[in-house]
């Protein structure tokens, strides 16, 4: 019986997954570009996402922190420090010193 309930729940939720997929894909795009070493494209994608009101607060903080990492990687320490400060104001308490910048920062479990 448990398997049947799980299957029916999956059928019920499938349309919502299809609706939300484009948003999730767009949300993950900057992180994927960053992982692939496509840093200029990642920076552009992060910046684009920070302009959207949906990603203010903690979501925006994650983008700001990763923008800071990319600037750190490019040896733009002043700009990196600005973005790390902004990320901290928005709720990211991670220490940027523990990151080289070649990979995106994602909190544990994401």
**Domain positions in the chain:** 29-98
Flag the least confident range among 2-6, 17-21, 23-27.
17-21
CB 67 within 8 A of CB 83: yes
Flag the least confident range among 32-41, 61-70, 73-82, 101-110.
101-110
User: Per-residue confidence at 11, pLDDT binned at 50, 70, 90?
Assistant: very low
CB 64 within 8 A of CB 86: yes
* pTM higher than the cut 0.85: no
The CB-side HSE value for 79 (13 A sphere, CA atoms) comes to 12
According to CATH, the topology of domain 29-98 is 1.25.40
For residue 16, what pLDDT is reported? 45
Q: Which long-range contacts (CB under 8 A, 24 or more apart) does 105-109 make?
A: 105/62, 105/65, 105/66, 105/69, 106/31, 106/62, 107/62
User: pLDDT > 70: what percent of the chain?
Assistant: 69
């Amino acid at each position: 019986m448990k398997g049947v309930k799980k299957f029916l729940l999956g059928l019920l939720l499938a349309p919502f997954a299809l609706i939300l997929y484009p948003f999730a894909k767009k949300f993950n795009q900057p992180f994927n570009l960053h992982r692939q070493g496509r840093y200029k494209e990642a920076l552009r994608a992060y910046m684009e996402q920070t302009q959207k009101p949906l990603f203010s607060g903690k979501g925006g903080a994650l983008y700001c922190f990763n923008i800071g990492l990319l600037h750190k990687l490019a040896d733009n320490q002043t700009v990196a420090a600005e973005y790390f400060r902004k990320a901290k104001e928005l709720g990211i308490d991670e220490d940027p010193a523990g990151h080289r910048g070649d990979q995106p920062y994602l909190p544990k479990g994401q």
